[in-house]
Amino acid sequence: MQLRAFLQILMVALLCSPVPVMAQQMTSVNATSVESLPPLKGELTLYLGRGEGGLYEDVLNAIQERNPEFTLNIRRGPTAALANAIMAESKAGIRRADLFWAVDSGAIGMVVDAGLATTVPNDVRQQLLPQFRFSHWTPISGRVRTLPFNSETRNANDIPDNIFALPNSGLRIAWAPAYASFQSFVTAMRLHSGEEKTLNWLKQMKQHATRYAGELGVVMAVERGEVDVGLANHYYTLRLKKGKPNANVDLAFTQNDAGSLINASGIVALNDNKTAVDFIRYLLTKEVQTFLASEAYELPMVQGIASPQGLPSMDQLAPPKVDLTELSDLRPTLNLMRKAGVL
């Protein structure tokens, strides 16, 4: 479905439709529709981390159109910078933001650790997939680490399902060690497998991998055949294949290690404003979650919404057990990467 047409459907659903978008595919009683939510009234200020090519903005515009008595003031910026601003404002005795929507859980962890987030109500938390229920923040959409590979020269059996086997696999590898998502992945590796093992992996990778500026560049290099395999979030591959259906790239996944980490964008309420909590409920509706899965190719966080086309369902993935809020502790990761000579 073309984006413009899907946006029109989303807008209609949020404005007036008595039937949820794609309702015939929704089986979970925990996934709600906008029709069950109270109207938003009053004014909120949202600090919005940049991401998803404006698709988050499309969701926000649709919510505001549905609620004419509601005003949403938005401050936009890099996620980490906004997290730092929230903490600086708090130290100065100021609280300008009611909500913080971050594109990664590490920045959320900074705000939660500073004691600035309110508790998520039980009814909101219960709508989420069990592994993504947190006490002080609400995941909105997810992304999984993958190993995109050139499907013309390789098949899935050629790709290791253990991230630590990758450097010595004999494959030509692409990576983007300066990229924020990669550094979150290394943080997960450090927490899950230990600093020594992570350091050795980084040193081995330095000997065998070609560096690229970002993970879209990694996926494009794989598709062109410059390398056999890369490390990147899943949606770069799915978006490339949307524009180029015959692209020579497919996805492989590791098992129970940081190579299959599922990270999440999420939102934090910074005060007990009821309207702020109701706003979060809108982001978890069938309509919004379906839109983000279909157009942003992100993983839905509520029950009953299908994963993006081209990606296994959530229960088929095998991510490591890592507390996502601990991904905010980047300093040891950066020190480790410098020690390995990759930064």
- For the annotated binding site for Fe cation, the residues are 235-236
Pairing of strands 250-252, 173-175: unpaired
Tokens of 80: 């980490």
Binding residues: 235-236
Give yes or no for a contact between 260 and 319, defined as CB atoms under 8 angstroms apart. yes
Helices assigned H by DSSP within 116-179: 122-125
Nearest Cα residue to 305 out of 21, 18, 15, 3: 21
93 Cβ contact partners less than 8 Å away, ≥ 6 residues apart:
none
Give yes or no for a contact between 300 and 172, defined as CB atoms under 8 angstroms apart. no
Nearest Cα residue to 171 out of 199, 135, 210: 210
Length of the chain: 343
